[in-house]
Structure 1
Amino acid sequence: MIVKDEEAFIENCLRSVQDTVDEIVIVDTGSTDHTVDICRSFGAKIVEFPWMDDFASARNRGLLEANGDWILWLDADEELDQKSGQILLHSLDQDEHDFFSIHLVNYMGEQVQLDNAYLIAHTRLFRNRKGIQFKNRIHEILDTPPPNQIPILPIKVYHYGYLDPVVRRKNKSQRNMTILENEMKKSDYDPWIPYHMASEYYRIREYEKAFQYVNMSILQFLIKQLSPPSLLYKLKYSILLSVGSIDTAWPGIQKAIELHPDYVDLHFYKGIILLVKENYSDSLAAFEHCINLGEKYLNHLVLHGVGTFQAWYYIGVCFEKMNRIDDAKDAYKKSILLSSSYLPPREALLKCLSEEDQSITTTDIS
């Protein structure tokens, strides 16, 4: 892994893998805190590498020091799930694949809540073979076969680096945009680059610039005669919903769904758009389709809940708008059963029940 001033996270990260891996290789790009000392306490091999605004180069330097048959790559602000270590080892003992993906859980917001996390399959395990390397100066990835040819293991890695306090403390957006701006000066820049620019502007709520860049990314993929990946449409319609541009979002969301019919988030956005447009029956159908899809298609970036408890909540909202109160209450109850910490269905159910019986309180639906 690459580190720089990661003393707040690195100990938990290394503790999560110490009983699973045979060696730990750390590429330090200039830490001035206790990061390196903590890494050494876990027996890590430390490689000093000057920072050159190039994540792939730093990763590849670390690969030169790895001696094991397999490599698991992580960030310092990530942790391997406690139950995943043995699954990982067992999977590697019996398989002939060169790459594996895992379930990456990206926490968002001010604090860790599973109700506010994105799920995606990410290739993090690969054989230590000559020729397998990282590419891209930022948002580095492995040069791998197509994702649909890479098995997904039932292993979870938790990522805390997108939590708002962490982003603010590290000033990640400014660092990332500086690298991305330099990449875009190249005549043959990768069409992913404007997408990453859009993501950074979206993160700091500069939605107009975010929208310009995500459309630029879509256009660049089309110019190269490539189908724009689902992430681009996810971001595009997230931006439009954030600024309330419902008329711009509809009916364009339909085309995005045609391109990526198994992407539950796009169907969820469709349901939200139709709900705002007061087309309750079609909105209901969209949310019911979210339940049918679930959250198993992790080749896409999936917001946890859009195929489960959030979808059931909005099904309840649709039923309530259609004056089907008993059905609405049932839907809210299903949402509550799936997530005890997601508050909207509790509040909606309490409102329905209190309208029938004013003595009902929050404790009655706990």
Structure 2
Amino acid sequence: MKQKLKAYPPIHSSTHLPLRHSITSPFIYSSTHSPITPLMNLSLCMIVRDEEALLPRCLKSVHGFVDEIVVVDTGSTDGTVDIARAFGARVYSFDWCDDFSAARNESLKYARGEWILVLDADEVLVPEIVPTLKQAMQKQDVLVMTLLRQEVGNHPPSLISRAFRNRSDIRFTRPYHELVDDSITTILNQEPHWQVVELAGVAIRHGGYGAAAIAQRRKLDRARTIMERYLDANPHDSYICNKLGALYIDCGNLPDGMELLQRGLQSSQVEPPVLYELHYHLASAYRQLNQPTQAKYHYQRATEQPISAHSKLGAYNNWGSLLQEQGNLPGAKACFQQAVEIDPNFAPGHFNLGLTLKAMGDLEGAIAHYQQAIQLNPSYADAYQNLGVALLKQGQVMASVHAFRQAIALHKQHGSPEGERLEQTLREMRLL
């Protein structure tokens, strides 16, 4: 029966702002404040195109928190505009020009709130973060908040600058993987009293980088075209070398991708989050080339960067998987333990730690982490399957069969042929 280590794919976004402060506890309201009443004027700014399927869920997630919704439509042909207006949004049209920053900045022009929150249609605001957001918005010296975005599926979380004061000098730059960080850095250099705060806890849940979405040829082609045009004018920009290099690797073009990533490392004044991603993507490429020594070097360099611990989950997880494949079980265990220490709700980390502990002969520990992974992700078919294996080795036949049945049902639900294969194997073993 197979065992699968869960590895993270390439990273698609992160912030590179210097961290000045961290908010780790929720705001305690006085009895005079309702928890659903906004304490500050807050504008939600969005750009959309043909998002009628996703937009309602996004806008419902901010209901009662934001004071206004500004939507810039870049050419929808479905019911997106009508849906936005039904939620009370002010909708403006923008002629698409292959520049996400231009569209984002168009939305900022119409914002009237003191603060701006930026979301995409395939994202939702996590309600538990609202008190912490309100607390940060009341602080006089806070300029921008970096928010932890959790990806749907096996993708690493990322820190993104999505909540900031409404100032004319805070604007998005770069045509793809756009961000406000460049303008924020300029302000911090001129006005050092301002603070950049990182909010504790997941703030945004994002579903846009699932395998089906990122595999769409049109989306990949658009991303590549926009970034290649920018690279032509900025050949040594470490940020675009990183993003485009990762895209090449994601598409299987390892030579060009690795050349860009190495070029990015050689650039001057590379910010730590970008350095992290450059090393992370190079490690992934070397792993695909079956060059583990180079892969381990770059995973280690990635984890050494002075960035948020949450942003390092991908490197620790993939480094652990590489070490386990090489038979270095103590090293793999240390990496996976680091991952679940950083984020106790990281289901793939618990699963991979369970696999490692099982290989080390610690069935009790393996079972505990498989069960933790299942508790965090009840549709985790591989965790149920490996839990069944561990329970069977312990002689807990009935519990094992129950776990296997759950695994079979989930594999079939997910359309995986592993369900049929596992079912046949268990019949041959007379367990079904």
Specify which structure has the bigger relative contact order, considering alpha-carbon pairs within 8 angstroms and separated by 6 or more residues: 2
- The 2-side partners of 1:90 and 1:226 are apart by 28
Give the Cα–Cα distance (whole angstroms) in 2 for the partners of residues 184 and 236 of structure 1: 19
**Pick from 184, 192, 195: which aligns with 1:144?**
184
> Who is 1:295 aligned against?
343
TM-score, normalised relative to structure 2: 0.70
SS of alignment partner, residue 355 of structure 2: helix
Q: How far is 1:270 from its partner?
A: 2.7
Query: Structure 1 length normalisation: TM-score?
Result: 0.81
User: What is the one-letter code of the residue matched to 1:62?
Assistant: S
Alignment of 1:207-218 (within 5 A): 207-218=254-265
In the other structure, the counterpart of 1:70 is 115
User: Contact 2:384 / 2:403 at 8 angstroms: preserved in 1?
Assistant: no
Match in the other structure for 1:355: 393
What is residue 299 of structure 2 aligned with on the other side? 253
Q: How many equivalent pairs are there?
A: 346
Q: Which residue of 2 aligns with 1:24?
A: 69
Give the counterpart letter for 1:184 in structure 2.
L
One-letter code aligned to 1:347: Q
Q: How far has the Cα of 1:68 moved from its partner?
A: 1.1
Partner residue of 1:102?
147
Unaligned runs of 5+ in 1: 109-115, 297-303
Cα distance in structure 2, aligned partners of 1:197 and 1:18: 36
Shift of residue 137 of structure 1? Answer: 1.4
CA, structure 1 residues 310+2, in 2 after alignment: closer, same or farther (shift >3 Å)? closer
Q: Which one is further off, 162-171 or 95-104?
A: 162-171
Counterpart position of 2:266: 219
SS in 2 for 1:98: strand
Q: Which amino acid aligns with 1:59?
A: R
Give the unaligned 5+ runs of structure 2: 1-45, 189-193, 407-432
- Residues 160-194 of structure 1 show CA distances to partners (whole Å, capped at 9, x for unaligned) of 22123333457211101101111111155521112
Asked if the contact 2:277–2:302 (Cα under 8 Å) also holds between the matched residues in 1, the reply is no
**CA–CA separation in structure 2 for the residues paired with 1:338 and 1:12:** 22
Preserved CA contact (<8 Å) 2:351 2:373: yes
Closer, same or farther: CA 170–30 of 1 in aligned 2, 3 Å: farther
Tell me if the contact between 2:350 and 2:369 (Cα under 8 Å) persists in the aligned partners: yes
Distance (Å, rounded) in 1 between the aligned partners of 2:333 and 2:211: 33
Maintained 8 Å contact 1:27/1:62: yes
CA distance in 2, matches of 1:29, 1:17: 22
User: How far apart are 1:45 and its partner, in Å?
Assistant: 1.8
What CA distance in whole angstroms lies between the structure 1 residues aligned with 2:198 and 2:368?
37
Corresponding residue SS for 1:53: coil
Q: Distance in 2 between matches of 1:167 and 1:275?
A: 28
Over residues 84-142 of structure 1, what are the superposed CA-to-partner deviations in whole Å (9 max), with x where a residue is unaligned?
Answer: 4455345424554121122212224xxxxxxx343222211111122111111111111
Find out whether 1:129 has 2:177 as its counterpart: no
The separation in 2 between residues aligned to 1:83 and 1:256, in whole angstroms, is 30
Aligned CA distance change for structure 1 residues 148 and 339 (closer, same or farther; 3 Å): farther
Q: What's the CA shift for 1:349? A: 3.1
Match in the other structure for 1:111: none
Distance 1:148 1:210, change over 3 A: farther
- State the alpha-carbon separation in 1 of the partners of residues 338 and 125 from structure 2: 32
- Going from structure 1 to structure 2, the CA distance change for 1:316 and 1:36 (only over 3 Å counts) comes to closer
Cα separation, partners in 2 of 1:126 and 1:244, compared to 1, 3 Å? same
Q: Secondary structure at the match of 2:233?
A: coil
35, 50, 53: which one pairs with 1:5?
50
* Cα distance in 2 between the residues matched to 1:95 and 1:23: 22
Identity across matched positions, percent? 27
- Per-residue CA shift, 1:11-56, capped at 9, x if unaligned? 2222222322222111222222222222222232222221111111
**Contact 1:60–1:133 at 8 Å: present in 2 too?**
yes
